[in-house]
Structure 1
Amino acid sequence: MSDLTIPAAVQNGQNDAQAAANSGQGPAYLPDFKTSTPGTMGIELELMVLDRLTYDLFPAAPDILRLLDKEDKPWVHTPEITTSMLEVATSILTSFDAAAEQLEHIRQTVQRAAFEVGAAISGGGAHPFQKWHEQRIYPKERYFASERKYGYLAKLFTVFGMHVHIGAGNADEAMRLTAWLTQRAPLFIALSSNSPCWQGEVSGFCSSRSNVVGAFPMSGILPFEIRTWQDFRDHFDALAGHGIVNSIKDFYWDVRPKPEYGTIELRVLDTPLKPVHAAALACYARELVLEWVEQPGRWPANGSRELYVWNRFNAARDGVEGSWIDPESGATIGIVEAVRADLARLRARTRDPGFVTACGVIETLMRDGGQAGWLRAHLETGGGMNDLARMAAEMFEHGAP
């Protein structure tokens, strides 16, 4: 059922119930799954707000958001859990060219607003030298509720991710597509990895951000036995009955359904250093989903959680230079080899004329160790942590490839 067919009073009631559940101030609530067009796409980016002199995190997000309130634009902006980060989300998109164009408009608009308050904006999955205990919770009840529930983990969650929403069609199909996209999620961790440093130290991982999410009790993946929306609803109700979850936002899964949008949501990516990287990776995910849509009723053969965790670990540690065990064949192959095989197959079936350009961007992301490799090379030449943060901010500032 789409929003257009729901009476306004009913829709408002659902929104109120969802908001209350999200903030922990009302009873547990799981909305009905909204129908959607398969392959429609939305992109969310969590962005760093930096001091223009020190390139440390800077608690200026409230001021930037107030300036963005004055802009007439097709995309939306929202606060995030601490005051040195903000989130932007595109409108509904259906192509690489549209995604790249809107993300570039977002970059320019947010950057202008940040400049007005003495700040810079950056991509990246984790700030290289910020200290979690110095961060401030954004003054919003939902975030205060998170701090009460999770303690120091709320501030530790000052990490920056990219989420991709893809239209699933209907509720049962969302479960199947979630299972398929989960198998490929480690490839997206590797391609987006750009957080080699954590709390002022070289972490030994290409994506240190990926390790933070695992501290939350509802992290992980969709249980393999869940095959229908009713299965998921029963699972939700059981957890809610124990007081473990209150809304869909309590599921920190790598891929999760988002019923109020009618989408599945890929949540594993470090925020890319350039908007065009984000557009390309989102379109890769979109094309995979469209391919699985054309294989109705087919489910992944292997739902091993242990295999997934191992693939995820390798991707976070080694980035694009890592290996991936194909859950379907059991073969161990390089991540670059797996991605190239996907792209070659998807290029042959895509209806998006810009996808060829997206593939070229992804090839760039696999060169020289990817984004994490570029940042590590900077450190190896004697650059410090402040320089690393400045370099990342300048890559975002320049925007174009």
Structure 2
Amino acid sequence: MLTYGIEEEFMWLSRDGRQSALPPFDVWDSPTENFSLSKETHLGVVEISSHILTSFRDVARHCSNSRAWLHAQANIHDATVFAGGTHPTLKWQNEPLVDTEYHGKTLERYGEVLKRGLVFGMHGHIGGITEEDMPRVFNTLRSYLPIFLAMSANSREFAGRDTGMECYRMTAFSSLPRTGIPDVISSAKSEIAKLNHLVNQKVLERTTELWFDARYHPVYRTIEVRNMDMQANSQLASAMLTLMFAVVEQIHRKNTVLENWKAPTSLINENRWIAMRDGKNACLFNDQYEQVEMSTIMHTLIAKTKKRLPEAALQTLCEHFNVNVEETTVV
């Protein structure tokens, strides 16, 4: 049985939403038994991580409950919460950084590239995949990563300007090393061995210092999809995460999700750029070098997974991507 996990990054702001504020981490203990809180590089960022989820209905429940808790805390502390891939007006140069030994070392290692990464992602973990199945599932999933990026693109404005990119977040983030489309993997063990070698050679401080659009997580032993922008709407966020989980589930079951979608790395990278630029209006290439509109892709993904999607998630996706739920036959 597959399991799921979610990480979401929020910006803690002043009551008027015009400037960042410091989250009260010092007064927050474990907020509930269902999720945990952590700091990111910038002091104003709050990351909420779910515990292990065992069903798609748990995904919506977690997103709703954790966000409700965070918004309630913002009211208590005279603050507000922002959810989006990038903040449209905050200047990264003005944002204070977390002062810990580890963050100090990473800042020394990555410098200004790390500082300007004031971006907010929505990550999904898929567990329960055996080591034997991991390479097949992971390598098949690589071609789908630009789709998840395009469907969630929500970061056109950054630091007071219109970037012209529907997903500027990944443009900013890709300045770091070990980002973008991951290499194919040959085995879970070889991935761990490579990461341990890089730590031993002091290239990495920790084995988790790789930030590809998806990775084999060296601690949780999950597949982590990391390239989706944050969404302001909780229902839309959980629906997008659920669809991504459902696609991975189909791949895990050896079902074909999209025909002609086993693209070489160069074409996946081209699709990634198109997805960043055009978002849900993108036309992506299949492995026959034919362009396919995102509307057609989303229609097919929803059709292939709709029997597994909770009704609320299905309805939200159909409305957002203008898909008629009664006509979701495979195209």
Q: TM-score, normalised by structure 1?
A: 0.74
How far off is 1:265 after superposition?
0.2
**Corresponding residue of 1:288:** 247
Partners of 1:207 and 1:365 in 2: CA distance: 17
* Match of residue 6 from structure 2: 43
Where 2:114 maps in the other structure, the secondary structure is helix
The runs of 4+ residues in structure 1 deviating greater than 6 Å are none
Measured after TM superposition, the shift of residue 237 of structure 1 is: 4.9
Deviations along 1:142-165, one digit per CA (max 9) or x if unpaired, are 222211111112221111000000
Q: Which has the larger radius of gyration?
A: 1
1:340 positional shift:
1.2
Kindly indicate whether the alpha-carbon contact (under 8 Å) linking 1:322 and 1:334 is maintained by their aligned counterparts in 2.
Answer: yes
Kept in 2: contact 1:137–1:144 (CA 8 A): no
Identify if the C-alpha distance between structure 1 residues 149 and 185 changes in structure 2 by more than 3 Å, giving closer, same or farther: same
Q: Over aligned residues, Cα RMSD in angstroms?
A: 2.2
Q: Deviations over 1:198-241 (max 9, x none)?
A: 111101011110101210111123323x3212332453355445
Equivalent position of 1:117 in the other structure? 77
Give the residue type in structure 2 aligned to 1:60.
L
- Structure 2: distance between partners of 1:249 and 1:155: 18
Matches within 5 A, 1:131-146: 131-146=91-106
SS of equivalent residue, structure 1 residue 319:
helix
Instruction: Look up the equivalent residue of 1:278 and give its one-letter code.
Output: A
- Equivalent of 1:52, from 8, 12, 15? 15
- Indicate whether 1:249 and 2:208 are aligned: yes
Confirm or deny: 8 A CA contact 1:190 1:315 kept in the other structure: yes
Q: Which residue of 2 aligns with 1:336?
A: 295
Q: SS in structure 1 opposite 2:53?
A: coil
**Alpha carbons of 1:152 and 1:265: their partners in 2 closer, same or farther (altered >3 Å)?**
same
- Work out whether residues 126 and 245 of structure 2, in 8 Å CA contact, stay in contact via their aligned partners in 1: yes
Figure out how many residues of one structure are paired with residues of the other and give that number: 319
Cα separation, 2, equivalents of 1:301 and 1:113: 44
Instruction: Using the TM superposition, give the Cα deviation of residue 251 of structure 1 relative to its aligned residue in structure 2, in angstroms.
Output: 1.1
Tell me: CA distance 1:363–1:176, structure 2 relative to 1, closer, same or farther (3 Å). Answer: same
Which one has a larger percent helix, Structure 1 or Structure 2?
Answer: 1
AA aligned opposite 1:151: G
Could you tell me which residue of structure 2 aligns to residue 232 of structure 1?
A: 191
Code of the residue aligned with 1:364 in structure 2: it is E
Q: Is the 8 A contact 1:172 1:227 kept in 2?
A: no
> Structure 1 CA distance, aligned partners of 2:30 and 2:253?
42
Contact 1:57–1:84 under 8 Å retained in 2 = no
Aligned residue number for residue 101 of structure 1: 61
Structure 2 alignment gaps of length 5 or more: 324-331
- TM-score, normalised with respect to structure 2: 0.89
Contact 1:136 1:155 in 2 (8 A): no
Query: Identity over aligned residues, as a percent?
Result: 24
Segments of structure 1 that go 5 or more residues without pairing to the other structure are: 1-36, 369-401
Q: Determine the structure 2 residue equivalent to 1:314.
A: 274
- Secondary structure of the corresponding residue to residue 236 of structure 2: helix
Does structure 2 conserve the Cα–Cα contact (< 8 Å) formed by 1:60 and 1:117?
Answer: no
Match of 1:376 in 2: none
CA gap of 1:57–1:44, structure 2 versus 1, over 3 A, is farther
